[in-house]
Amino acid sequence: MWLINSSIGRKVVMSVTGVALILFLTFHGCMNVVALFSGKAYNMICEMLGANWYAVVATMGLAALAVIHIVFAFILTAQNRKARGNSRYDVATTVNAGKVEWASKNMLVLGIIICLGLLLHLFNFWYNMMFAEIVGMPAKLSPTDGFGWIQETFSNPVFVVLYIIWLVAIWFHLSHGFWSAMQTFGVNGKIWLKRWMCIGNIYVALLMLAFIVVVLAFAFGCAPSLCDAAACGM
Ligand code: HEM
Give residue 124 CA to ligand 1 midpoint distance, Å: 9
Give 178-182's long-range contacts (Cβ < 8 A, gap of 24+). 178/18, 178/19, 178/22, 178/203, 178/204, 180/15, 180/104, 181/14, 181/15, 181/18, 181/19
List, in order, residues 6 or more apart from 106 with CB less than 8 Å away: 172
**176-222: per-residue pLDDT in tens?**
999 899 999 998 888 988 999 999 999 999 999 999 999 999 999 98
Nearest atom, ligand 1, residue 46 CA:
16
Give residue 28 CA to ligand 1 midpoint distance, Å: 7
pLDDT recorded at residue 231:
43
Give residue 92 CA to ligand 1 midpoint distance, Å: 35
**143-155: per-residue pLDDT in tens?**
999 999 999 999 9
List, in order, residues 6 or more apart from 55 with CB less than 8 Å away: 49, 130
Nearest atom, ligand 1, residue 35 CA:
5
**Helices (runs of H) and strands (runs of E) counted in the chain:** 12, 0
Please state, in angstroms and as integers, the Cα–Cα distance from residue 102 to each residue in 82, 98, 175, following that order. Answer: 21, 10, 11
Amino acid in the structure at residue 4: I
pLDDT recorded at residue 40:
95
List, in order, residues 6 or more apart from 123 with CB less than 8 Å away: none
Q: Is 216 in the pocket of ligand 1 (CB under 6 A)?
A: no
If you take atom 30 of ligand 1, which residue's CA is the nearest one?
Answer: 118
Rounded-to-integer distance, Cα 98 and Cα 77, Å: 22
Q: Is 150 in the pocket of ligand 1 (CB under 6 A)?
A: yes
Please state, in angstroms and as integers, the Cα–Cα distance from residue 140 to each residue in 86, 128, 148, 171, 215, following that order. Answer: 52, 9, 10, 32, 21
Contact at 8 Å (CB) between 181 and 193? no
If you take atom 17 of ligand 1, which residue's CA is the nearest one?
Answer: 125
Rounded-to-integer distance, Cα 22 and Cα 15, Å: 10
Give residue 150 CA to ligand 1 midpoint distance, Å: 10
Which one, of 196, 175, 35, lies nearest residue 104 by Cα? Answer: 175
Give residue 40 CA to ligand 1 midpoint distance, Å: 17
Q: Is 38 in the pocket of ligand 1 (CB under 6 A)?
A: no
Give 98's pLDDT tier (boundaries 50, 70, 90). very low
Give residue 121 CA to ligand 1 midpoint distance, Å: 7
What is the rounded end-to-end Cα distance, in angstroms, of the chain?
60
Give residue 108 CA to ligand 1 midpoint distance, Å: 22
pTM over 0.85: yes
Q: Is 58 in the pocket of ligand 1 (CB under 6 A)?
A: yes
Is pLDDT above 50 for 92? no
Its sign, for the CA torsion 97, 81, 184, 57, is negative
Contact at 8 Å (CB) between 129 and 192? no
Q: Is 170 in the pocket of ligand 1 (CB under 6 A)?
A: yes
For a ligand 1 pocket test, name from 43, 125, 170, 214 the mutation site with the most ligand atoms within 8 angstroms of its C-beta.
Answer: 125
Amino acid in the structure at residue 175: S
Is pLDDT above 50 for 94? no
Collapse the DSSP code of 213 into the 3-class scheme (helix H, G, I; strand E, B; otherwise coil) and give the result.
Answer: helix
